[in-house]
Chains A and B, each alone.
Chain A
């Protein structure tokens, strides 16, 4: 299992991406997230602190997750973005879709505040 998934609350999980999210483990990421969606999670905090490669297929798997949760107002946010991942975010301008936070705790706080509003 490449991805560590921890519950933050009933609706939110933190997914630690690890070294890579690429064509080799994108399906595994999709399946792991689908299990969470099936069990009622709508908000995903993706922790990129240790990630050296996010490739186009990996990004596509995140798009897939976003397409699943966004109709029910679920969110996918990026936390602790490493410099290699920041390059991809800038090149694809996905900061327009995925909010970015300096840390997992900052992302969790923002999602928690949004849920209470």
Chain B
């Protein structure tokens, strides 16, 4: 027992020492991140994190920002949660206690919900990279949702597919929670508009070794449109296999998958003719987006997606808010975020986000992308 007690004391002293050490580090603000950095979703986690790292590196290279007259730099501390909400909660506690992070980025809804249980009490701002609408509907005062909610896509996506392809929908979406909510909303909208759902066969996009069986089951009912979508790359396989089996209709693509990435796996944009989905970052022609893509490519040697761009934008907004309010208090940052989004330099804003709603959602004007004749076309959503 004595040994255990002594050990406990030693650990306590060591952690205390660490807390003091990090707390004493002047001129540096820690931004926390918890997301999947290993396992099947590692790529997604790395993509979101790369946007944060890029923002931090640019700010630090410019000498940091001004906080109460002191030059302050940004330190991004990333912890792996392997997509587990429980691990995300543990990580968040650590980031708050050990690194005193006022802001923590989380790129999955499960993690966000877990953090919302204690973020107000523990006093940190949750930056949620997820389009699940309930994240901001729960009224958590210290949560900011970065991308647009997916319910805004339902009406324009289904209208386009019904008008251009036909009434029969085959559902071949994924089986994770997020995809299920998406699928049920699409189905509701489709039926409400007088369409018909001919087959429903969700597939595990992350754990399936092969989609041939699942796709052939959906195609057996001869749909005009297929609903597909999980991560971009498996979605590409599903699209490719559907085309191999002679499917000639269109696709409704869930927002998790990006048309440009899907087409790379599926074998070109021609495979996606008649598809409707969210606009991939690379299709934005304005200067801010193109400049971001160029700088990102120079730094990481690959093409960025919306995960990187949105998180880049969000961290820059946070830093602008800290700069303007001379504070690292989460509540103050949250209150100043709307103004920060308006006043921050346009080059730091690859997406046109200029405000944040009362309940904490970034306001953007979402467009949708359709593929016609092997080309991505941007269509404004009404």
Bound pair: A and B?
Answer: no
